[in-house]
Structure 1
Amino acid sequence: MIHCDNLVKIYKVADLEVVALQGLDLHVEAGELMAIIGNSGSGKSTLLNMLGGLDRPSAGQLTVDGKDLLKFTEADLVKYKRETVGFVWQNNARNLIPYLTAQENVELPILLKGRRKRERALELLEAVGLSHRRKNRLHQLSGGEQQRVAIAIALANQPKMLLADEPTGSVDTKMANQILNLFRELNRSMGLTVVIVTHDPLLAKKVDRVVAIRDGKTSSEMIRRKSYADELRELEEGTAAAEEESHVEYAVIDRAGRLQIPSDMLQSVGIKDSNKVRVQLEDGRIVLLPPEEKKTS
Structure 2
Amino acid sequence: MIQCEGLVKIFKAADLEVFALQGLDLEVQTGELMAIIGNSGSGKSTLLNMLGGLDRPSAGMLTVDGKNMLKMSARELVRYKRESVGFVWQNNARNLIPYLTAQENVELPILLRGRRKKQRAAELLEAVGLSHRRHSRLQQLSGGEQQRVAIAIALANSPKLLLADEPTGSLDTRMSEQILDLFRELNRTIGITIVIVTHDLQLARKVDRVVSIRDGKTSSEMLRRISYTEELEALERDMEAAAAAEQSHVEYAILDKAGRLQIPAAYLESIGAGDTNKVRLELVEGTIVMTPGAAKKEPAAD
Q: TM-score, normalised by structure 2?
A: 0.95
Structure 1 residues 52 and 151: alpha-carbon distance in aligned structure 2, compared to 1, 3 A threshold: same
The share of aligned pairs that are identical, in percent, is 74
Q: How do 1:195-234 and structure 2 match up within 5 A? A: 195-234=195-234
State the Cα distance separating 1:237 from its structure 2 match: 2.6
State the Cα distance separating 1:239 from its structure 2 match: 8.8
Number of the residue aligned with 2:95: 95
Number of the residue aligned with 1:163: 163
Amino acid at match of 2:154: A
Number of the residue aligned with 1:76: 76
Number of the residue aligned with 2:9: 9
Amino acid at match of 2:182: L
1:50 aligns with 2:77: no
Unaligned 5+ runs, structure 2: 297-302
Match of 1:289 among 288, 291, 296: 291
Deviation digits for residues 15-74 of structure 1 (CA, Å, limit 9, x no counterpart): 100000000000000000000000000000000000000000000000000111111001
State the Cα distance separating 1:138 from its structure 2 match: 1.2
Whole-angstrom CA distance in 1 between matches of 2:159 and 2:56: 20
Q: Does the Cα contact within 8 Å between 2:235 and 2:242 map onto a contact in 1? A: no
Q: How do 1:13-24 and structure 2 match up within 5 A? A: 13-24=13-24
Number of the residue aligned with 1:39: 39
Amino acid at match of 2:256: D
Amino acid at match of 1:258: R
1:185 aligns with 2:188: no
Deviation digits for residues 182-212 of structure 1 (CA, Å, limit 9, x no counterpart): 0000000000100000111112321000000
SS of 1:41's partner is coil
Q: Does the Cα contact within 8 Å between 2:102 and 2:136 map onto a contact in 1? A: yes
Amino acid at match of 2:98: P
Q: How do 1:211-290 and structure 2 match up within 5 A? A: 211-238=211-238, 243-244=243-244, 245-290=247-292
- The Cα RMSD (Å) is 1.3
> How many residues matched?
294
Amino acid at match of 2:268: L
Whole-angstrom CA distance in 1 between matches of 2:199 and 2:177: 15
Q: Does the Cα contact within 8 Å between 2:3 and 2:62 map onto a contact in 1? A: yes
Unaligned 5+ runs, structure 1: none
